[in-house]
Homo-oligomer: A and B are copies of this chain.
């Protein structure tokens, strides 16, 4: 076991956390000495139970965690989401623009089902009562970590964590938010730089980690930091620990593993991509999120593209189109293959080999050791 507060808090050997929507990745990373954290935001309580049953049966008794999202602000919060009314409020310009991109790539747009732009479960989980029922399910299992990926966790999450002796983690992208989270009672901070895949701020990991570490020191907090954003290798994890993190939280690196359910077309693109092949754009959800570049994202970055809509409206424009692209790309449709994209961080430039999740953990350990040797050797005599 490494000497890290993360290892002792979570009872793991190597302080590498794997955020994944794929239960196979979660179990494999936990078994390899890290910890899998299951991303459950799109699931009903029933489906979550199924997935956690499976993970619990396949993790060989190793610790695992669950990640939920409860944002503080979005259109329609607090009231039952009226999908029909939301669809009506999408400007025709946006629908036409999305359809136009598809049409240019020989994809028929008459089958797009906009009601599925945001899933009912997603909408449900974004409301406090929905999140609470998912939380209840999560705590039926012997989870060792519960994480909230957006904003300060709701009090019910903090309370349940305390009651069950389960650390509560929260994701932050700015120094100011980190201090607010610590004051709210969060046990672990996932500090994510702007190179991260998915929703992200714009301060880089290299700056944000020491900035947050120093800010916590100033307020006398010893909350451990998991570094996130662009980290897909062991030498980056070592670098983060040298700068004051207690471990790493990675999402992108698992997307190209054997276990991942990533669209194979996108997997191939990711393995071939350099770090310059991502874009931080509001075109997918309405908030800035980093994605693999494709003609789809390029079109939305173009000068004639309409301004992305606020959450959740932009998802209702983009998701039906991207779901169609995903489906067609896997049946060999060339236009769809070209357009296919998914969230990924700049670390995609370092993901060049198809590996199993266990092999990724092993490689992290080796690269970590090499990085330490390199730094140690630099000190000379």
* Interface residues in chain A, defined as those with a beta carbon under 8 Å from any beta carbon in chain B: 1-4, 174-176, 193-195, 201-208, 210-211, 214, 229-231, 233, 235-236, 238-244, 246, 274-276, 345-347, 349-350, 371-372, 374-381
For A6, give the chain B residue with the smallest CB separation: B378
Which chain B residues border A203 with CB–CB below 8 Å?
Answer: 195, 275-276, 346, 349
- Known contacts A242-B371, A379-B2; A206/B235 CB under 8 A: no
Which chain B residues border A193 with CB–CB below 8 Å?
Answer: 204, 206
In the complex the two chains form, is B176's CB within 8 Å of A241's CB?
A: no
A350 vs B242: C-alpha distance when bound (angstroms): 16
Partner of A241, one of B202, B229, B375, B381: B375
- Known contacts A242-B238, A242-B239, A242-B242; A378/B3 CB under 8 A: yes
A45 to chain B, nearest CB (A): 37
In the complex the two chains form, is B244's CB within 8 Å of A374's CB?
A: yes
A133 vs B346: C-alpha distance when bound (angstroms): 41
A236 vs B208: C-alpha distance when bound (angstroms): 11
In terms of DSSP, what is the predominant structure of the interface of chain A? helix
In the complex the two chains form, is B207's CB within 8 Å of A347's CB?
A: yes
Which chain B residues border A210 with CB–CB below 8 Å?
Answer: 233, 235-236, 350
| Number of copies of chain A assembled together | 2
A214 vs B275: C-alpha distance when bound (angstroms): 13
In the complex the two chains form, is B240's CB within 8 Å of A204's CB?
A: no
- Known contacts A176-B274, A214-B350, A276-B174; A242/B372 CB under 8 A: yes
Which chain B residues border A214 with CB–CB below 8 Å?
Answer: 350
Which chain B residues border A350 with CB–CB below 8 Å?
Answer: 207, 210-211, 214
Which chain B residues border A230 with CB–CB below 8 Å?
Answer: 204, 206-207
A102 to chain B, nearest CB (A): 28
A374 to chain B, nearest CB (A): 6
Which chain B residues border A240 with CB–CB below 8 Å?
Answer: 239
A126 to chain B, nearest CB (A): 26
A302 vs B208: C-alpha distance when bound (angstroms): 26
Partner of A275, one of B3, B207, B371: B207
In the complex the two chains form, is B243's CB within 8 Å of A274's CB?
A: no
- Known contacts A2-B380, A241-B378, A244-B235; A349/B206 CB under 8 A: no
For A233, give the chain B residue with the smallest CB separation: B210
13 contacting pairs across A/B (C-beta < 8 A): A174-B276, A195-B207, A203-B275, A204-B206, A206-B236, A206-B239, A208-B275, A210-B233, A235-B242, A235-B243, A242-B371, A242-B372, A246-B378
- Known contacts A211-B274, A242-B235; A2/B204 CB under 8 A: no
In the complex the two chains form, is A175's CB within 8 Å of B274's CB?
A: yes
Which chain B residues border A275 with CB–CB below 8 Å?
Answer: 174-175, 203, 207-208, 211
Other 13 A-B pairs with CB < 8 A, given A1-B380, A207-B346, A238-B242: A175-B349, A193-B206, A203-B346, A206-B231, A210-B350, A214-B350, A235-B244, A238-B243, A239-B243, A241-B378, A242-B242, A242-B371, A372-B379
Which chain B residues border A276 with CB–CB below 8 Å?
Answer: 174, 201-203
A175 vs B210: C-alpha distance when bound (angstroms): 25
A363 vs B220: C-alpha distance when bound (angstroms): 21
